Amino acid sequence: MRHRIVSWICALLLLLTVASVSVGVATAADAGQYAEYTAAGNETAPAIQSAEPTQAASDGPNGTAFVWERIDGERVSGYRIAVTVSSPQENLSVCARANGSSACTPVGPNGTAALTTPGTAGLDDLSISLSNTSSDTTLDRQPVSLQPIQRAGDVDDDGLNNSNEVARGTTLTDADTDGDGLLDGTEVHQHGTDPAAADTDEDGVADRTELQQGTDPRQSDTDGDGLSDERELSLGTNPTVADTDGDGLSDQREASGKTDPTDADTDDDGVLDGRELEIGTNPVQADTDADEVADGRELAIGTDPTVADTDGDGVTDGTELETGTAPTESDTDDDGLDDGKELAAGTSPTTADTDGDGLSDGREVSDLGTDPLAADSDGDFLTDRQEVAWGTNPNSMLTPVWVTSSLLGFLIGIGVAIAAIRRGWVTELSVAARLYIYRRLELDREIIEVNREIEATDRVAEADRADIDADTAAEAFEQADWELTPDARLVKLMLQVENGRMHQTDIVEATDWSKAKVSRLLSRMVDDDEVVKIRLGRENLICLERAKPAAANSPHAGDIKPPTPGG
């Protein structure tokens, strides 16, 4: 009995053992090729590190790689895949499975393998698996998607074929790679812009915007004025025209200065900015010389917009226009006094004879010393002109007394003559007449002496003539460098040409200087002993010292009228 019990127990244990082994074998069989590999100890399990198509033309959406249907003109039968395995070991292989077919190759000791896809169909569902050939187990799996395309095709229908898109680096599945609003094909074939860059010329303005406004999307400075198209748009200038406002200055020059590149006349003075820079006026100041006359008006009337007093008469151009004088003539009324002096003296710069006495203001001030504001300077009831005509002093109130005395003297003389006839004084008068004739003869001899001296000095003057080829004083003045030669030197030069003597009025005519200027100049030269002035009635004879007639010092010199220079 006991023996049977032991036998049953042994049989039961045997059955349990067999059952356990059977279950283990069944479980392993069910796991099959998908059982995971468990490394012994601390080893890392092999895995697919990367699986890349080596003939990919471009990346597609969702990890898809575009590949050419034809390579070197031949249709492709399969595409090469480069696989890298981490923690490689023996007995590993990789397989490419697609469309129910597979192609496998062993993994090299360095963990790399290269295999070719099993044909070209179904490559959008291609997978790469890593297996242990000794245990016939799959260790890892990685999907790979390939999409064969034609070179002449256009995946994104943007007008640029696939081959060109790959060559230019544009996206095969995006019709506008750079997002600038222009199709890639349009950019390449029509505009010549870069389909991979929204701003081809990098000027800050997108290609599409440049095309809309007429600028060149391939040139950062379309009009070549030194300002980028973006800068011009910010300034409001025309990026296609170098000089937006047409004032003769480029937009860049105006933008870097103070003028407005969008306004031809920045200061609104009637002169274009470019013209102002040419003539030296300030293009941002309407009245450059601050004479209260705008630059444009000054150019129109002939005054200098850079000089407040164009004619140098001491009165600004603006004041002259207000008072009615000519801003280009220092002596508007040609009376021998500059306009500034007339305004200071209270005379009218537009009327030659302010007091209407028949004498010009200049003559009254410079020559006679009379008051140009009073017709009768000395208040003797005789006008200045009358006194000058009679030879009396227009600045003396005694003139009427002198005239009365002369009249009384004349009447007394008649009475004396009658008395002389009656009393026999005729003889005495005869003697007096002979004495008078004698004195006249003496005077004639003095005049002859003066003529002889003049002829002698003429011969000396011929040898001492100025070193200039001129026959008259006017020619000498024209030939001399009168802008650099002092006025006194010019006068002496003219005197040398005219044998040392000239009338003061002849000097005025030869130089075209004003009478007042000539009078002041000669007065200075007399004070400096450079010339000699001889009064001849109402005229002055100007002489060099060597040409002064000795008879001019005679008591009768005031009665002498020397001949004009030269004869």
CATH at residue 83: 2.60.40.10
Q: Cα(140)–Cα(418) distance, rounded to whole angstroms?
A: 171
Give residue-wise pLDDT tens across range 48-76: 999 999 988 898 888 899 999 999 889 99
Q: Of 128, 149, 170, which closes a domain?
A: 149
CB-side exposure of 105: number of CA atoms within 13 Å? 18
Exposed (0-12), middle (13-18) or buried (19+): which is 302, by Cβ within 10 Å? exposed
Q: Mean pLDDT check: name the lowest of 62-76, 159-173, 338-352, 387-401.
A: 387-401
Q: Is the dihedral of CA 434, 438, 441, 447 positive or negative?
A: negative
* 474 Rama class: left (phi>0) / alpha (psi -120 to 50) / beta: alpha
Report the percentage of the chain scoring pLDDT > 90: 45
Residue 95 belongs to a domain: yes
Contact call for residues 502 and 566 (beta carbons, < 8 A) = no
Residue 115 belongs to a domain: yes
Position 369 scores a pLDDT of 85
Strands 65-68 and 146-149, sheet pairing: parallel
Query: How many Cβ atoms sit within 10 Å of the Cβ of residue 255?
Result: 19
Q: Of 125, 149, 173, which closes a domain?
A: 149
Query: Which two three-digit tokens encode residue 208?
Result: 């599409």
Position 40 scores a pLDDT of 42
Residue 428 has pLDDT above 80, yes or no: no
CB-side exposure of 23: number of CA atoms within 13 Å? 6
Quick one: average pLDDT of 306-324?
Answer: 92
Residues contacting 139, CB < 8 A, separation 6+: 36, 37, 45, 46, 47, 92, 130, 131, 132
Contact call for residues 47 and 130 (beta carbons, < 8 A) = yes
CB crowding 158-185: b at 16 or more within 10 Å, else e: bbbbbbbbbeeebbbebbbbbebebbbb
Residue 129 belongs to a domain: yes
More confident residue, 13 or 281: 281
Q: Which of 121, 131, 127 is nearest to 145 (CA)?
A: 127
DSSP string for 225-263: SSS-HHHHHHHT--TT-SSTT-SSS-HHHHHHSSS-TT-
Contact call for residues 317 and 308 (beta carbons, < 8 A) = yes
End-to-end CA distance of the chain: 195
Exposed (0-12), middle (13-18) or buried (19+): which is 24, by Cβ within 10 Å? exposed
Residue 362 belongs to a domain: no
CATH at residue 520: 1.10.10
364 — pLDDT class (breaks 50, 70, 90) = confident
For the chain, the helix, strand and coil percentages under 3-state DSSP, each to the nearest 5: 40, 15, 45
Phi, psi of 264 (to 5 degrees): -65, -30
Quick one: average pLDDT of 236-253?
Answer: 92
Position 567 scores a pLDDT of 41
Q: Which of 315, 276, 278, 313 is nearest to 294 (CA)?
A: 276
Give residue-wise pLDDT tens across range 497-518: 888 899 999 998 988 889 998 9
Residue 157 has pLDDT above 90, yes or no: yes
Exposed (0-12), middle (13-18) or buried (19+): which is 248, by Cβ within 10 Å? middle
Q: Which residue is associated with the tokens 């009635």? A: 537
Contact call for residues 311 and 328 (beta carbons, < 8 A) = yes
Residue 279 belongs to a domain: no
Residue 276 has pLDDT above 80, yes or no: yes
Residue 451 belongs to a domain: yes
Query: Which two three-digit tokens encode residue 11?
Result: 């049989």
Residues contacting 159, CB < 8 A, separation 6+: 183, 184, 185, 186, 189
Q: Of 100, 132, 149, which closes a domain?
A: 149
Residue 492 has pLDDT above 80, yes or no: yes
Quick one: average pLDDT of 332-341?
Answer: 90
Q: Mean pLDDT check: name the lowest of 222-226, 539-543, 553-557.
A: 553-557
Position 387 scores a pLDDT of 83
Distances (CA, A) of 459 to 109, 455, 551, 561: 131, 7, 18, 21
Residues contacting 343, CB < 8 A, separation 6+: 315, 323, 349
17 — pLDDT class (breaks 50, 70, 90) = low
Q: Which domain holds residue 119?
A: 47-149
Position 228 scores a pLDDT of 92
Residue 552 has pLDDT above 80, yes or no: no
Position 433 scores a pLDDT of 61
Residue 117 belongs to a domain: yes
Contact call for residues 148 and 76 (beta carbons, < 8 A) = yes
DSSP bridge partners of 104: 95
Residue 163 has pLDDT above 70, yes or no: yes
Q: Number of folded domains in the chain?
A: 2
Position 301 scores a pLDDT of 92
Residue 410 belongs to a domain: no
Q: Cα(322)–Cα(305) distance, rounded to whole angstroms?
A: 17
Phi, psi of 549 (to 5 degrees): -65, 135
Distances (CA, A) of 545 to 219, 361, 457, 486, 495: 81, 32, 11, 20, 11
Contact call for residues 331 and 366 (beta carbons, < 8 A) = no
Quick one: average pLDDT of 221-241?
Answer: 90
Contact call for residues 471 and 497 (beta carbons, < 8 A) = yes
pTM above 0.75, yes or no: no
